[in-house]
Amino acid sequence: MSHPLQQNHDPKMWEKHRFGLPNNRWERLKDKCVWVTGAGTGYGQCTAIALAAAGSFVILSGRKSEKLIETITLMKSYGIGSSNCEIVDFDLTDIKQTENACKSVMEITPSLYGLVNNAAVAQHGNTLYPLQEGTYEVWDKILKTNLTAQWYLTKTILPHMIKGKELRIIFMGSEAGWAFTPGFGMYNVSKCALNNLSASFASELDASHKDVDIQVNTIVPGEAKTEMNQMSTDSPFTIVPMALLLLSHPAYGPNGCFFHRDGRYFSFAYAQPYSREILC
Ligand SMILES: NC(=O)c1ccc[n+]([C@@H]2O[C@H](COP(=O)([O-])OP(=O)(O)OC[C@H]3O[C@@H](n4cnc5c(N)ncnc54)[C@H](OP(=O)(O)O)[C@@H]3O)[C@@H](O)[C@H]2O)c1
């Protein structure tokens, strides 16, 4: 990426700037069905709103339907139509609810094009919670939500995505996945494993489905003020340009790569750098 992506677009002015997307990329999102988890708040809310603006069919998920309705209300306040939006509220950590949510999505669309695995929980109300003092229950909740549920949802809906012959999956990672910040060990571990989950899905699918245009990537977003992170002053709309660029990428795009929301790629260990322009 020669220049960092502009991230501070005013969402009310979406028709003017289209979050920095060139017309062809914006048009590619039209009528595509994309499922966003954690769509009632923060990064997920902003991604869902921007997708609806681009004319995608958006499935919004989270546990609290009132939050998902807030997202719809907010998009309407920006002059974005919500007739292409469907709410599927469920708890990702519940196997049965996840399977039922996937069934609902299969009824909504003949094949799912995009999945934004964005939902997660922070650690213990974001207060310091050292590994040596943690309980089994908190460990289990964090790992279940931030890792196990992401795998189970993705693997359950995958056949319905593969059907469409082109699919885009984003996992919302975190620099915590490479950090060892004291007091945040459980969250760090969950995000570290999520990085691997994302890239492992990418390489396995690439090997098993040569006839399908598969792009599974991780965004390492950086901080923004959301329910999870009250300390930042950045808007969660900062995620939108990068998320839309990945979701709208034509065939032969990145797969198994890691990007910051400003467009930079991360390369480490076996993760390959993405040497082409993401904005093609
Ligand atoms: N904000 C940051 O500074 C930052 C930095 C790095 C990475 N991230 C990552 O960005 C992603 C979005 O986070 P955010 O900052 O936007 O936080 P957020 O506002 O707290 O959003 C998290 C979302 O996850 C949903 N969720 C949590 N548990 C769930 C469950 N069991 N089932 C279904 N949905 C569930 C929540 O909805 P319900 O409560 O309605 O279920 C909520 O909408 C996360 O993966 C986070 O780790 C954020």
Nearest to 253 by CA among 278, 231, 272: 278
Nearest to 56 by CA among 21, 87, 38, 81: 81
Determine whether the shortest distance from the Cβ of 63 to ligand 1 is under 6 A.
yes
Q: Which of 63, 99, 189, 225 has most ligand 1 atoms within 8 Å of CB, for mutation? A: 63
| Average pLDDT value for the chain | 96
Is the pLDDT assigned to residue 63 strictly greater than 90?
yes
Determine whether the shortest distance from the Cβ of 166 to ligand 1 is under 6 A.
no
Q: Over pLDDT 70: what percentage of the chain?
A: 99
Is the pLDDT assigned to residue 159 strictly greater than 90?
yes
Task: Report pLDDT digits (tens) over 133-143.
Answer: 999 999 999 99
Determine whether the shortest distance from the Cβ of 225 to ligand 1 is under 6 A.
no
Residue 1 has a pLDDT of 55
User: What average pLDDT does this structure show over 222-238?
Assistant: 96
Q: Domain locations in the chain?
A: 11-266
The answer to whether the beta carbons of residues 71 and 40 sit under 8 Å apart is yes
Q: Over pLDDT 90: what percentage of the chain?
A: 91
Separation of alpha carbons 88 and 77, rounded Å: 22
Task: Report pLDDT digits (tens) over 28-61.
Answer: 999 999 999 999 999 999 999 999 999 999 999 9
Nearest CA to ligand 1 atom 7: 174
For ligand 1, the distance from its centroid to the CA atom of residue 207, given in whole angstroms, is 31
Is the pLDDT assigned to residue 267 strictly greater than 90?
no
Is the pLDDT assigned to residue 195 strictly greater than 70?
yes
pLDDT band at 12 (very low <50, low <70, confident <90, very high): very high
Determine whether the shortest distance from the Cβ of 121 to ligand 1 is under 6 A.
yes
The answer to whether the beta carbons of residues 149 and 93 sit under 8 Å apart is yes
- H helices present in 9-115, as ranges: 14-17, 23-28, 42-53, 65-77, 95-108
Determine whether the shortest distance from the Cβ of 97 to ligand 1 is under 6 A.
no
Parallel, antiparallel or unpaired: strands 258-260 and 57-61: unpaired
Is the pLDDT assigned to residue 2 strictly greater than 70?
no
Nearest to 253 by CA among 25, 53, 51, 50: 25
Fold type of domain 11-266: Rossmann fold (3.40.50)
Separation of alpha carbons 57 and 31, rounded Å: 6
